[in-house]
Structure 1
Amino acid sequence: MIPSLSEATIRHHTIAQSFERGQGYYRAGSVHSLIQRGDRLLARVEGSEATDYQINVYFDQGGITRATCTCPYDYEGWCKHIVAVLLTCLNQPDRIEHRPALATLLASLNREQLETIVQNIANEQPEWMDAVEVQIALLTQSKTQKSQKAPRRTTVDPKPIERQVKRIINRYVEQWNDEPALDEIREIIQKADKFLEQGDGNNALIILGAIVRAYVQDWMNLDGSSGESGAFFEELDDALTEAILSAELTTSEFQQWQKELKNWQKEVVDYGVDSFEMSLTALQQGWEYPPLQEVLQGNITELGAWEDEAPDFADDLAWIRLKILERQGRHQEYLYLAEAEGQTDRYLQMLTKLGRSQEAIALAEQEMSTAGEAWTLAKTLRQQGELKSALNIAMQGLSLGGSNHYGLAVWASELAEGIDLEIAFQTRLKAFQLQPSLPDYLKLKELAGHRWDSLQPELLDTLRQSSSSLHAKAKAAIFLEEGLIEDAIATVTQLSSYESDIIHPVMDAAIAHRPDWVIENARPRAESIINAAQAQYYHHALNWLRRVRAAYLQLGQQEEWHRHRTALMQTHTRKHKLVAMLQQRDLT
């Protein structure tokens, strides 16, 4: 069984729509083959595709640490398939088939038997050999080999990539929406990332150069509503910087890249875009920059890895260098650079990864200054199996400055459920006080036990007294959960119609109790949309009118609704699209 699993936990990690759809999948019996191996659950869910979706849920003593699904869902929280699996685990635990963990299965086998298994699998699935070769290379590669730069490979042809980027931009020119275009270009950037992971910075740089070359030329055609086209240059600058510092360039290649970067700078500066400064600096400094070399040898001064005052992008550049050092296994140099550049959270994280957890914890008590730093370290400690230490660090982080306190409080509460229920309760209460939500309210009810009878009125009074519009969604949902219709109505009455996702559920609940309020509140909202004569928004007006109709029917005033609908059609008789919509069956 997954520790500390509850419906409130599931709700917290997903949006309402995904939870409802996941419930539907669970009730329909779409979850198949629930298999638990140690601290991992594998499941299959029947979906809209021919093949089942594969779900993996990882957990430890504190609860779920990660959940993945093979579906394309790319929004907030867990997808509906993960929800369905977890609801099945929660409500039908006897369906879980417990099997030995892989480590247990392999423990009793000798080398000959292991070789036979690997060979048999490779014969049945030839593509599996690629993964085997990668793992062998990683296991046998010495520290010296890791520090060497990768040999040059077959050179990627940049021309097809340039054409691909141009086609993407041209495809979205007329749509006034640059985000889909940028997402497609990001997919090409991921190809460069794969070369970087393999230690081939040169080909990664060629791919990125092709992308930037085409983008600089045509990006102004992406006159999208999000305004992200100009900001995208920062992402390109980051990617170029990592590739430059991972590549092995000849003198002529260095000169060519320097020339191109400067030309790109000139091209975009007239449009208010200040970019490529970091990648130019990385190109000029490389790894031989004297102040950097001093730091990598452990000679650290107040200036860190800089000759003079550090530029604005110093933290970003340091992080990119740290990623490369970790990839190359240069851990001591990583620690020196992280210390010199004030990257405390990453310094502590690396100490923990190197098995120096106690050293990291002792240092954290002196050096941590933000909740974010504490959370980073706590996550790493948890990954290393040091759950109590992770919880202690998280608790310290809640008293520090910075941001992320809500997320850290929830994370600490979920972890504490398997360690200390009192801490789980207190940290969840802290989370609710910072940012009220229905899932946290339900979780508090679960954790409070006998204290709930006295705690509940306090929480509800706090919500009533809160005037923050940021809490409106949580307040309305909690009041509806408790059947406090009048409180829910008071919460949403003055909200803008743009907040319909909050108002609609309250109206739906209020139709049986306060139909008069529904009519008084929904009619003006519908009429303001209709009077604006913007046909593309008429469907919003109809959503309000459907609730008006339901309220009139609740009052037994069907004729009054008919008169109102007829008056609308006569007043707006020239709005043919609206009239046709008002004639729909559910509005008659």
Structure 2
Amino acid sequence: MELNEDTVRDVCTDAVFERGERYLADGRIHEINRVDSTVTAVVSGSRQYDVRVGLATDGFAPWCDCPYDGSGACKHVVAVLLRCVDDPLPDEGDQLDAALDGADADELRAFLRDELATDANLRDRFLARVGEPTRQSVDELRTSIDRRFEETNPEYHVVFEPIDFTEWFDLANEYREQGRYASAATVYRALVESLDDNMERVDGVYDHFSSAFRRALDGYVDCVAAAERDAAAVTDAVAFLDDRAMSGTPFLAEHFEKAAVDLREKADEQSCE
């Protein structure tokens, strides 16, 4: 996506754009880096906020852990984008490539293995990338996602700020790219269940959580339809969606109902191919 002031304005309101300009002028952006088309930064406000944007992605795929719940991107994201407009960042991807090309294979293997041994999320993505099926069940994945809700505001049941679900969406995407749709569906279902069960504790940032829920639900339907060829498996998935429509968060019911209809239609299309 082309990056200029006009495209930045397209992803936020006029008021937020002006606040982002002020944040940039006040020097509130720190630790800003770019690797390939992904930019990460820390922006100081009432506290330090982590920001991530994708310069090559439609809408820049903005992420910020601030509690903003308005339309479009927040002022922290806007400030980072405007910083990239004013002073394009050097791409550190070439440096990484050069370091990888010059690394000793045994040292690289040892480093990677040490990192994989201590970072479960990275390990899951690595195994997905090399073609291994998911080693975790829906319930196991849900435990990790639910923990993120608990950790966000440990003193209260209510969640006031966004939660970054990127690691699970990235994991699901790895499986999809490998054609392991059943594994991807497992990850998406864990996200769907956790978001549905925790949605009523969300106070503010509704757009963020609703968007994550819809993304996970759409991914689940797509992957079940792609992975399952027998009618019984699709029937089980539809039954899950129908049950959630009846027993889950009331204002999400219509999304589950629509997903059940979409899954039946996608399954019918698959069977006709």
- State the TM-score, normalizing by the size of structure 1: 0.27
In the alignment, what sits opposite 1:69? 39
In the alignment, what sits opposite 2:22? 17
Matched, 1:289 2:273: no
In the alignment, what sits opposite 1:82? 84
Aligned AA for 1:224?
A: D
Flag the 1:207–1:168 CA change in 2: closer, same or farther, 3 A: same
Bigger radius of gyration, 1 or 2? 1
Structural mapping, 1:284-363, within 5 Å:
284-286=264-266, 288-289=268-269
Flag the 1:18–1:226 CA change in 2: closer, same or farther, 3 A: closer
Q: Distance in 2 between matches of 1:11 and 1:288?
A: 43
In the alignment, what sits opposite 1:154? 133
Matched, 1:276 2:246: no
Which range moves more in the overlay, 75-84 or 271-280?
Answer: 75-84
Aligned AA for 2:22?
A: Q
- Does structure 1 retain, via aligned residues, the 8 Å contact 2:234–2:267? no
Q: Distance in 2 between matches of 1:231 and 1:12?
A: 21
Q: For 2:196, which of 204, 208, 216 is the aligned residue?
A: 216
Cα deviation for residue 224 of structure 1 reads 0.7
In the alignment, what sits opposite 2:183? 203
Q: Distance in 1 between matches of 2:5 and 2:198?
A: 45
In the alignment, what sits opposite 1:419? none
Between the two structures, name the one with larger relative contact order (CA 8 Å, sep ≥ 6): 2
In the alignment, what sits opposite 1:165? 145
Q: Distance in 2 between matches of 1:55 and 1:170?
A: 31
Cα deviation for residue 54 of structure 1 reads 4.1
Flag the 1:80–1:277 CA change in 2: closer, same or farther, 3 A: same
Matched, 1:244 2:227: no
Q: Distance in 2 between matches of 1:120 and 1:232?
A: 37
Q: Distance in 2 between matches of 1:214 and 1:80?
A: 35
Which whole-Å deviations, capped at 9, do the CAs of 1:283-317 have from their partners, x for residues lacking one? 32335439x96xx8xxxxxxxxxxxxxxxxxxxxx
Flag the 1:120–1:164 CA change in 2: closer, same or farther, 3 A: closer
- Does structure 2 retain, via aligned residues, the 8 Å contact 1:178–1:226? yes
Q: Distance in 2 between matches of 1:17 and 1:219?
A: 34
Secondary structure in 2 matching 1:156: coil
In the alignment, what sits opposite 2:125? none
Cα deviation for residue 78 of structure 1 reads 4.2
Which whole-Å deviations, capped at 9, do the CAs of 1:303-360 have from their partners, x for residues lacking one? xxxxxxxxxxxxxxxxxxxxxxxxxxxxxxxxxxxxxxxxxxxxxxxxxxxxxxxxxx
- Does structure 2 retain, via aligned residues, the 8 Å contact 1:176–1:225? no
Flag the 1:270–1:200 CA change in 2: closer, same or farther, 3 A: same
Flag the 1:68–1:120 CA change in 2: closer, same or farther, 3 A: closer
Gaps of 5+ in 2: 9-16, 42-49, 53-76, 113-130
- Does structure 2 retain, via aligned residues, the 8 Å contact 1:18–1:79? no
- Does structure 2 retain, via aligned residues, the 8 Å contact 1:179–1:226? yes
Q: Distance in 1 between matches of 2:177 and 2:265?
A: 22
Cα deviation for residue 261 of structure 1 reads 1.5
Gaps of 5+ in 1: 1-8, 25-46, 57-66, 90-101, 103-116, 131-151, 297-588
The percent identity for this pair of structures is 13
- Does structure 2 retain, via aligned residues, the 8 Å contact 1:175–1:224? no
Q: Distance in 2 between matches of 1:165 and 1:204?
A: 15
Matched, 1:261 2:241: yes
- State the TM-score, normalizing by the size of structure 2: 0.53
RMSD: 4.4
Q: Distance in 1 between matches of 2:253 and 2:262?
A: 19
Aligned AA for 1:76?
A: V
Q: Distance in 2 between matches of 1:270 and 1:54?
A: 41
- Does structure 1 retain, via aligned residues, the 8 Å contact 2:34–2:40? yes
